[in-house]
């Protein structure tokens, strides 16, 4: 069956151009720092993000894990939003590897403000663990792909730094955020200490994420990556696809965002279905608590029509658009939604 796969943008497959670049990639042993293609990708990412250095990683989870370890000490708290990926989808790596606990804050559309963060910052005391790090997710996956306004990031970072703390951004989909705001990733990254972003989601590379930050942090990060089993040797084969992802793919993300809005509009027109947030990027979260069918029933019925999506809770379904979902497929999905729910 030719599935229309809206489960995630992680399902994208490498293009013919990427596969050719992978086949032809110049490689060396990256644990010795000798893979020219990885080195080129790391230089390119650092340059694009306006940071001193970058690190090529197998996954976004490893990038967030390394960043949290870099910026904290054991026994500290990491302030994040309640639906953050680092808290809910990374197997407690912040506890397992960095010895930290999360201090989650519930925020409208998943977007924290400085005043919310300030109220949760703790000094070391006889009872409380001190705050070690502020983490923000941009775009925010489980809040429906919401995007931080630049000013909010600048405000949070300025006050975070004045308190002697660091701020890390889970920018798995930062290129979607930039496309939505009409700015560069450098603009978004400027106020924060480190950013993790993924090559293997909307940008279409088969594998890979990056961490960007200071030279000193990335040098330490390289050792942490090795500890986690992320020394990838002739990784230039993967980095070659990553370079194409960075150079060619960001320009087309607006298409995915338009497709997500089409799905959101169709869902919002259905009785009892509530679409979360403003649908600024490629993620649509629909709440079925007031609908005559549950999120699981919706997912099953869509699957019978050849359309895959994920439920993210008993009441909510998530639909993610990406480069392997064409305009025609979106029309098919919209028709299916109307047939099932209208
Ligand atoms: N997200 C995946 C799942 O893990 C939920 C998805 O399908 O959306 N940060 C954010 C914001 C993410 O959405 C993800 C992956 C990651 C980090 C982790 O990336 P990987 O899967 O490369 O470890």
Q: How many Å apart are CA 130 and CA 151, to the nearest integer? A: 27
- Same domain as 204, residue 323: no
- Same domain as 270, residue 231: no
List of E strands, 114-220 = 131-137, 166-170, 194-198, 209-213
pLDDT at 136 over 90: yes
Q: Which of 225, 249, 273 is the last residue of a domain?
A: 249
- Same domain as 110, residue 69: yes
Quickly state the pLDDT bin for 280 (edges 50, 70, 90): very high
Quickly state the pLDDT bin for 342 (edges 50, 70, 90): confident
pLDDT at 295 over 90: yes
Is the C-alpha dihedral spanning 198, 200, 202, 203 positive or negative?
positive
When divided into structural domains, the chain yields a total of 2
Pocket of ligand 1 contains residue 206 by CB under 6 Å: no
Interval between CA 259 and ligand 1 midpoint (Å) = 21
190-246 pLDDT per residue, tens:
999 999 999 999 999 999 999 999 999 999 999 999 999 999 999 999 999 999 999
Half-sphere exposure of 105 (CA within 13 A, CB side): 23
Packing angle of the helix pair 253-268, 327-341 (nearest 10 deg): 10
Pocket of ligand 1 contains residue 195 by CB under 6 Å: no
Q: Are 167 and 136 in contact (CB under 8 A)?
A: yes
Domain, as residue range, for 302 = 4-10+252-341
The overall average pLDDT reported for the chain is 97
Q: How many Å apart are CA 234 and CA 241, to the nearest integer? A: 13
Average pLDDT over residues 11-33: 97
Q: Which of 6, 7, 8, 10 to mutate to test the pocket of ligand 1 (most atoms within 8 A of CB)?
A: 10
pLDDT at 135 over 90: yes
Q: How many Å apart are CA 262 and CA 284, to the nearest integer? A: 10
Interval between CA 318 and ligand 1 midpoint (Å) = 13
pLDDT at 259 over 90: yes
Q: How many Å apart are CA 250 and CA 94, to the nearest integer? A: 30
Interval between CA 15 and ligand 1 midpoint (Å) = 21
How long is the chain? 342
Pocket of ligand 1 contains residue 282 by CB under 6 Å: no
- Same domain as 134, residue 61: yes
48-61 pLDDT per residue, tens:
999 999 999 999 99
Long-range (24+ apart) CB contacts under 8 A made by 1-6 are 1/306, 2/306, 3/306, 3/307, 3/308, 4/306, 4/307, 4/308, 4/325, 4/329, 4/332, 4/333, 5/308, 5/324, 5/325, 6/263, 6/307, 6/308, 6/309, 6/319, 6/320, 6/321, 6/325, 6/333
Alpha carbon 323 to its chain's center: 16
Cis peptide before 139 (omega within 30 of 0): yes
**Percentage of the chain exceeding pLDDT 90:** 98
The closest-lying atom of ligand 1 relative to the alpha carbon of residue 200 is 22
Pocket of ligand 1 contains residue 280 by CB under 6 Å: no
- Same domain as 95, residue 74: yes
Pocket of ligand 1 contains residue 146 by CB under 6 Å: no
Give the pLDDT of residue 124. 87
Pocket of ligand 1 contains residue 88 by CB under 6 Å: no
Give the pLDDT of residue 32. 97
140-165 pLDDT per residue, tens:
999 999 999 999 999 999 999 999 99
105-129 pLDDT per residue, tens:
999 999 999 999 999 999 888 999 9
pTM: 0.98
The H or E element spanning position 165 is none
- Give the closest residue to 284 by CA, choosing from 174, 143, 172: 143
Q: Which of 249, 279, 312 is the last residue of a domain?
A: 249
Q: Please give the DSSP secondary-structure letter assigned to residue 182.
A: T
Q: Are 275 and 284 in contact (CB under 8 A)?
A: yes
Give the pLDDT of residue 66. 98
pLDDT at 1 over 90: no
- Indicate which CATH number applies to the domain containing 336: 3.90.1150.10
- Same domain as 310, residue 189: no
Give the pLDDT of residue 341. 85
Pocket of ligand 1 contains residue 60 by CB under 6 Å: yes
- Same domain as 273, residue 131: no
- Same domain as 22, residue 76: yes
């Amino acid at each position: 069956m030719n599935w229309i796969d809206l489960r995630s943008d992680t399902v994208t497959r490498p293009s013919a151009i990427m596969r050719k670049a992978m086949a032809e990639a110049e490689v060396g042993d990256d644990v010795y720092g000798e893979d020219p293609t990885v080195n080129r990708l790391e230089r390119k990412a650092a340059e694009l993000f306006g940071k001193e250095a970058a690190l090529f990683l197998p996954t976004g989870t490893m990038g967030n894990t390394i960043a949290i370890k870099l910026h904290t000490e054991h026994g500290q708290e990491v302030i994040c939003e309640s639906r953050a990926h680092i808290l809910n989808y990374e197997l407690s790596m912040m506890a397992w590897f960095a010895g930290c606990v999360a201090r989650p804050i519930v925020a409208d559309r998943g977007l924290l403000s400085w005043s919310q963060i300030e109220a949760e910052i703790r000094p070391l005391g006889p009872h409380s663990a001190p705050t070690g790090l502020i983490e923000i997710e941009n775009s925010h996956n489980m809040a429906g792909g919401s995007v931080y306004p630049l000013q909010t990031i600048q405000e949070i970072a300025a006050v975070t730094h004045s308190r002697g703390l660091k701020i890390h951004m889970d920018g798995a989909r930062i290129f979607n955020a930039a496309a939505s705001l009409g700015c560069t990733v450098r603009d978004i990254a400027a106020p924060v200490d480190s950013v993790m972003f993924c090559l293997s989601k909307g940008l279409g590379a088969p594998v890979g994420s990056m961490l960007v930050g200071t030279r000193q942090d990335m040098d330490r990060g390289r050792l942490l990556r090795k500890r986690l089993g992320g020394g990838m040797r002739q990784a230039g084969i993967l980095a070659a696809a990553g370079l194409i992802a960075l150079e060619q793919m960001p320009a087309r993300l607006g298409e995915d965002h338009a497709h997500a809005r089409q799905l959101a509009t169709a869902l919002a027109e259905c009785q009892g279905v509530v679409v979360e947030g403003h649908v600024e990027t490629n993620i649509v979260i629909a709440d079925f608590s007031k609908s005559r069918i549950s999120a699981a029933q919706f997912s099953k019925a869509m699957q019978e029509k050849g359309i895959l999506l994920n439920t993210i809770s008993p009441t909510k379904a998530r639909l993610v658009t990406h480069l392997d979902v064409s305009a025609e497929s979106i029309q098919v999905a919209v028709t299916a939604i109307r047939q099932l729910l209208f």
